[in-house]
Every structure is written in structure tokens, then in C-alpha cells.
Amino acid sequence: MAASTGIVLAVGSITAANELIFAPLDGQKVSFNWRIIPATGGLALALAGLEHLSRPFAVGLAWLALVAVLTVPFGNAPTPLQNAITIMGYNK
């Protein structure tokens, strides 16, 4: 398994869990975006191929994707950080 694959799978898992678990806990009705699954697989394959050219660059892109998925709203739900803040009661 490539070094960036685990990070990319975490990105896809966080996005899917945000839409399936965290957004409904926040009281939002969100339909699951099924395109997350093939997009995660495609990104994992692309970064695994890129690792043959430059391993640090591919792993760095994977980490940037992880930071982006936490702070930028992808899919049909708000960001995981926004949902966590609302669930904990800090944002009313």
C-alpha cells in the first residue's frame, strides 16, 4: 500500500461519516453523496501513481486533502468542524 493511501482513505471516511452520522446528529436532513466512494478510490490511485515520481509531494497532497476536508464544505453537509461545534453546543 502506498504511503498516501491511508491518508486518502481517512479523507473519504471523514467525508462519508460527516454526511451519514454527524450532519443528522446536528438536525440536518442530508442525503448521502454516493460519489464520495469512487472519488476516494480515484484519488488514492492517482496519488499512488504520483508517488512513483515524488513520494514527499504525493504524501503532502494527501495531508492537504485531509486538512481541506475538515475545513471546506464538500458534499451536501457543512464541514465536520462546523458540525462538531454545533453538536457540542458552542454555536447556537
Kindly report the pTM of this predicted structure.
0.84
- What's the domain range around 13? 5-88
Give the Cα separation of 57 and 90 in Å (integer).
Answer: 37
pLDDT for position 92:
64
Least Cα distance to 45 among 74, 2, 13, 16 occurs for 2
pLDDT for position 26:
66
Least Cα distance to 8 among 52, 56, 67 occurs for 67
pLDDT, mean of each 10-residue run, the chain (92 residues): 93 90 75 89 96 96 95 83 85 70
Instruction: Report how many domains make up the chain.
Output: 1
pLDDT for position 21:
84
